Amino acid sequence: MIGYVRGILEGKYSEAVILDNNGMGFCVRTPGTTIDRLPAVGSEVKFYTYLYLREDSISLFGFLTKEELDIFQLLLTVSGVGPKGALGILSTLSCRELRMAVHGQDSKAIAKAPGIGAKTAQRVIIDLKDRLSLEEAWEIDETNPIVVEGIGAVQKEAIEALTALGYGMAQAAAAVGKVEISEEMTVEQCLKLSLKHML
């Protein structure tokens, strides 16, 4: 198994990159959202990888973070979700948005991924609800009480307010996640800024 590949980025495409590692060019399939975050061609990049073997093909999937790789592998355990579907979900939703969609039972957000229908989206929610931690969505620093009690609480209340207004959990989480939270910010201020990011 190949745990990770580090090399020079030789090319970027819609769903894959070419990575030069000691003169060998690896074709690494990766979410579209990952491609958007990559540095310029010629830069060094490290991908956490998953090797997918079938009788008729071998594919290498790569992710910039261990969290993305872990969630990709969790998605593969869901009946009806193969590598292409899992990649589609992670191209449509960030890890944080997927966690929020699963815990908020927002199947519509998951079903927006290419190749994922309503029934498969429901299966993702049922199968992963107990396996995806909601707390990790905000990457809260437990050693900082201001972050836990102040900023974390503001974000949570803003998301709850947006869902009460009829927005989906994943959409609300995505909008709140784009707001730069300060220690003095109120829920009302966060909500107002979050609404500007709603699609």
At 174 the pLDDT is: 75
At 149 the pLDDT is: 36
Structure tokens at 162: 């947006």
8 A C-beta contact, residue 171 and residue 197? no
Residues 6+ apart with CB under 8 A from 144: none
Under the banding of pLDDT at 50, 70 and 90, the label for residue 123 is: very high
Torsion, Cα 73 152 154 170, to 10 degrees, reads 0
pLDDT 10s digits, 1-49: 788 999 999 999 988 999 999 999 999 999 988 888 899 999 999 999 9
141 vs 70: which has the higher pLDDT: 70
Prediction pTM value: 0.72
Q: What is the mean pLDDT of residues 177-194?
A: 85
Residue 153 has pLDDT above 90, yes or no: no
Q: What is the mean pLDDT of residues 125-136?
A: 81
62 vs 140: which has the higher pLDDT: 62
At 20 the pLDDT is: 96
Q: Identity (one letter) of the amino acid at 48?
A: Y
Residue 142 has pLDDT above 70, yes or no: no
Structure tokens at 75: 């998605």
